[in-house]
Amino acid sequence: MPVETSEEREVGDADASSFPRCVSCGTPVTIVTVTDPLEAVASPCGCRIAPGALESD
Ligand SMILES: [Zn+2]
């Protein structure tokens, strides 16, 4: 007698939607690399943004 387990846990998807959006192209930004006091590079899109521009708080 088979037992069906349809319960699935989604890990990561919820976090993906919580990433701040790039101010230039709207891509969810996972990494911000500060290259200069007045400049940072968003990843994975690669746009140059202002440091702190993506604060999602
Ligand atoms: Zn971008």
Given this model, what pLDDT does residue 10 score?
52
The model carries a pTM of 0.63
- Compute the distance from residue 54 Cα to the ligand 1 centre, in Å: 11
Distance CA 52, CA 55 (A): 6
- Compute the distance from residue 9 Cα to the ligand 1 centre, in Å: 30
Residue bearing the bigger pLDDT, 46 or 57: 46
- Compute the distance from residue 44 Cα to the ligand 1 centre, in Å: 8
**3-state SS class at 15:** helix
Is residue 56 situated within a structural domain? yes
Domain count for the chain, please give it: 1
Residue at 19: amino acid letter: F
Distance CA 33, CA 10 (A): 28
Is residue 16 situated within a structural domain? no
19: its two tokens: 């990433």
Distance CA 43, CA 33 (A): 8
pLDDT tens, 2-48?
Answer: 777 776 665 555 555 789 999 999 999 999 999 999 999 999 999 99
**Residues within 5 A (CB) of ion ligand 1:** 22, 24-25, 27, 45, 47
Residue 39 lies in domain: 24-57
